[in-house]
Amino acid sequence: MKPNEATPWFEAGVAHYRQKKYPEAAEAYRQAIKFTPGNAQSHFNLGQACEKLNETETAVTEYKEAIRLKPQMAEAHKELADLYERQKRGEEALAEYTTALQLKPGYAEAQLGIGNIHYNSKQYEKAVEGYLNATRANPQWATAFCYLGDTYRELKRYDEAMKAYQESLRIKPDYAEAAYFLGVVYLNQGNTTAALQQYEKLKTVNATMASKLSAQLKR
């Protein structure tokens, strides 16, 4: 490795990150940035490594720098939005998700993020729209269908919740959260037989979630 060149450091960062050696990855990206401080991708990758190290504020700084250097980088806007969302900075997160979608139409992860913001603020109809858009952008994303089911359940639209959870489980049969809430929906509909069947399936997937459903069945 030639320390006076950025590329080997960058490539080392990528390799370390893939191996989940996040401190080493972060250090390699920092070395790369010393030689090419205007490289947006290096700042973006450093932000990702810092996220893994729970260095949230540093990650925010690096994503912002990546955006300053390359405003059209949709992924940087989305990752920054994710951090803002976790920090309960909803308006800032929504603005970044919206920008990400403008730059990359059909960006499923940004649509999911928008759904999450509205769900957490109990704006469930808007959350439905976000999650539906995420499922349209990525019809094989079990998480998006599960979150859609959660939102329909909050709205007491149980038939639609059931279909969303069923689709989530079709994609990912061992998705314990979807299996549990599908059982809860069956109970809400008065279909104890179907809830029991779901409980039996859940026992083979996640004993803890199965116990929670069992407690619901005993009420």
- Give per-residue pLDDT as tens, 80-125: 999 999 999 999 999 999 999 999 999 999 999 999 999 999 999 9
Q: What is the CATH number of the domain that holds 204?
A: 1.25.40.10
Residue 70 domain-assigned?
no
Q: Per the domain annotation, does 209 fall within a domain? A: yes
pLDDT at residue number 198: 93
Q: Look at residue 171 and tell me if it is in a domain.
A: yes
Whether 129 and 101 have beta carbons less than 8 Å apart is answered as: no
Within a domain: residue 198? yes
Position 93 in a domain? no
Give me the domain span that covers residue 168: 141-219
Q: How many domains does the chain have?
A: 1
Q: The dihedral of CA 30, 36, 38, 42: what is its sign?
A: negative
Specify if 57 maps to a domain. no
Question: What are the tens digits of pLDDT across the range 43-90?
Answer: 999 999 999 999 999 999 999 999 999 999 999 999 999 999 999 999
- With contact defined as beta carbons under 8 Å apart, do 41 and 66 qualify? yes
- Confirm whether 95 is domain-assigned: no
